[in-house]
């Protein structure tokens, strides 16, 4: 064991070694970006990496307010047409001009079958270049939240993509390798100097960046090293090998706070952690129950909810860096209310009664799929759930694996029971419904609904809220949709994350509630 730790520490030290410029920011977290293709995987750390290389039309500032990026202004000019006026004088990092053609190309790329972002823009029928600096997006009905949906859609160079045969996004679930997986070229503040997946990524300042006058002091170089071992991450920060750690293990936060020269930033994250269940299959693929699906019985799902002691998870696993959840979306997202988010009480006796009523008084066995390098203490959460569900006779085979294996497994619908976290970059409930609850049609809708759940009434409400421009009426539709979604119990809410960023006191950066560091806002003292 000691030799193993020594080897890990040596490998990390070698990977962190880099000729430092005057403003090099060395940072780490538990897992790497899944790909550099900005449209292939709708996953937080992947988009966080992409935003340093690519730009969206509209971005969010540290307060999560929408502000101009590649688009200087936007407005609806007809019930189904939005107009975007683009920033003049912008070039890609190779010096080629950015124009409306690149925007049209990127929107069409996002709508491709292999894109994991197509649900964002499901309403877009057409993107048209009116002139080099004007784009019109035509939707299949009024879409009041299109600007919010565009904040996480990155713009690529049409010429670069065509040159390198990456006009379509990588098919990540099929492990496709394309030029865009390890290479990138955008209009953002940084360029890729080195990309060794799961080892090291080095980004250097883009001399052609349009925002260099606005963001004058951001680092010259970012050196990112994924470090799976929590103890190694915190040791590298304390020893000065790292300047910033996104996810110091929660039990080490107090130690970081007490270390001279280090500091932390904390905030409630726009992300919820929950369990998903296959309710649609006639028989669970990974269970000892044959000929029927215990998760299809709502009483079983409610029993599982009641058997989870979320306060114990909060105090013992999360060290109080979480907020118990009754919904799978947190405060800060339109449609969230304190009443809807109120959690039902922990009740093992009531859970056992429901299991008996459903015909599973003796329980059953099922596999739980869990990532071990994505969310705060994710595997520990799953281990706690295993013990809690055992109290009502549900025996869990826990399969914890890297997110690089976990997410493709889910996307292939190869799981009966799984842990997932969901952030809301649009800050609108429609995003949650369209990805997580809408019927998965294998095309644009319900892309992350792996439960087999389908409710025509809820689908209708999701369609209405996507087009409703009357705010009061839309709020009513969202509230009705949340009541249906919560009562369905196809997901078992656990908690909303509280995030802690740990860093050297020579780093000055705002914390983002999205948990996506944006180092164009950072300064090195």
Residues 52 and 184 in one domain: yes
Please check whether residues 159 and 279 belong to one and the same domain.
no
**CA quadruple 512, 382, 410, 432: dihedral sign:** negative
Structure-block tokens of residue 506: 């020579």
Residues 6+ apart with CB under 8 A from 339: none
> pTM of this prediction?
0.92
Which CATH number do you get for residue 478?
Answer: 3.10.105.10
199-209, pLDDT tens digit by residue? Answer: 999 999 999 99
Which string of DSSP letters, residue by residue, matches 193-218?
Answer: EEEETTTEEEEEE-TT-TTTTTS-S-
Co-location of 329 and 250 in the same domain: no
Residues 252 and 115 placed together within one structural domain of the fold: yes
Question: Do 291 and 154 share a domain, yes or no?
Answer: no
Q: How many domains does the chain fold into?
A: 2
**Which segments in the chain show pLDDT lower than 50?**
1-11, 14, 17-21
Phi–psi pair at 168, nearest 5 degrees:
-115, 150
Same domain, 390 and 243: no
129 in Cβ contact with 104 (< 8 Å)? yes
pLDDT tens string 463-474: 999 999 999 999
Q: So what's the pLDDT on residue 16?
A: 55
For helices 348-357 and 298-307, what crossing angle results, to 10°? Answer: 160
Same domain, 277 and 206: no
Give the model's pLDDT for residue 444: 87
Domain that holds residue 252: 2-261+505-524
Looking at the structure, tell me whether residues 294 and 192 fall in a common domain.
no
Token pair in block for residue 119: 């649900």
Residues 242 and 278 grouped into a single domain: no
């Amino acid at each position: 064991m000691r030799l193993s730790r020594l080897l890990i520490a040596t490998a990390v030290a070698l990977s962190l070694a880099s000729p430092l410029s005057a403003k090099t920011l060395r940072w780490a977290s538990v897992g790497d970006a899944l790909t550099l293709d900005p449209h292939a995987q709708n996953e937080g750390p992947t988009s966080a990496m992409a935003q340093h290389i690519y730009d969206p039309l509209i971005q969010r500032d540290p307060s999560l307010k929408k502000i101009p990026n590649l688009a200087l202004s936007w407005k609806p000019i007809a019930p189904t047409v939005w107009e975007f006026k683009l920033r003049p004088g912008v070039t890609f990092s190779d010096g080629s001009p950015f124009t409306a053609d690149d925007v049209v190309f990127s929107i069409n790329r996002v709508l491709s079958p292999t894109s994991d972002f197509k649900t964002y823009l499901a309403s877009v029928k057409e993107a048209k270049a009116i002139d080099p600096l004007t784009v019109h997006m035509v939707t299949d009905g009024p879409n009041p939240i299109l600007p919010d949906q565009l904040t996480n859609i990155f713009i690529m160079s049409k010429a670069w993509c065509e040159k390198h045969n990456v006009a379509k996004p990588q098919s990540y679930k099929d492990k496709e390798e394309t030029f865009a997986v390890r290479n990138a070229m955008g209009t953002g503040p940084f360029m890729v100097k080195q990309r060794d997946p799961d080892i090291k990524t080095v980004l250097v300042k883009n001399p052609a960046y349009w925002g260099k006058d606005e963001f004058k002091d951001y680092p010259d170089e970012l050196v990112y090293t994924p470090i799976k071992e929590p103890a190694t991450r915190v040791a590298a920060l304390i020893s000065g090998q790292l300047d910033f750690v996104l996810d110091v293990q929660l039990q080490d936060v107090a130690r970081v706070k007490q270390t001279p020269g280090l500091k932390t930033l904390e905030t409630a994250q726009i992300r919820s952690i929950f369990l998903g269940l296959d309710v649609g299959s006639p028989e669970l693929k990974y269970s000892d129950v044959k000929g029927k699906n215990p998760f299809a019985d709502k009483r079983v799902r409610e029993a599982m909810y009641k058997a989870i002691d979320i306060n114990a998870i909060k105090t013992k696993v999360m060290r109080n860096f979480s907020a118990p959840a009754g919904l799978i979306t947190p405060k800060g997202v339109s449609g969230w209310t304190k009443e809807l988010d109120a959690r039902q009480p922990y009740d093992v006796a009531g859970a056992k009664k429901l299991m008996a009523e459903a015909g599973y008084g003796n329980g059953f066995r099922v596999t739980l799929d869990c990532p071990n390098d994505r969310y705060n203490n994710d595997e520990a959460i799953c281990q706690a759930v295993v013990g809690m569900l055992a109290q009502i006779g549900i025996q869990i085979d826990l399969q914890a694996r890297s997110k690089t294996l976990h997410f493709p497994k889910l996307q292939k619908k190869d799981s009966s029971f799984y842990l997932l976290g969901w952030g809301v970059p649009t800050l609108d409930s429609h995003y949650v419904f369209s990805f997580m609850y809408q019927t998965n049609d294998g095309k644009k809708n319900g892309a992350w609904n792996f439960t087999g759940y389908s409710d025509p009434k809820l689908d209708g409400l999701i369609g209405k809220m996507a087009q409703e421009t009357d705010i009061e009426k839309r709020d009513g539709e969202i509230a009705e949709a949340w009541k249906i979604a919560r009562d369905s119990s196809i997901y078992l809410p656990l908690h909303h994350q509280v995030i802690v960023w740990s860093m050297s006191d020579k780093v000055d950066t705002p914390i983002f509630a999205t948990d996506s560091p944006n180092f164009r806002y950072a300064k090195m003292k």
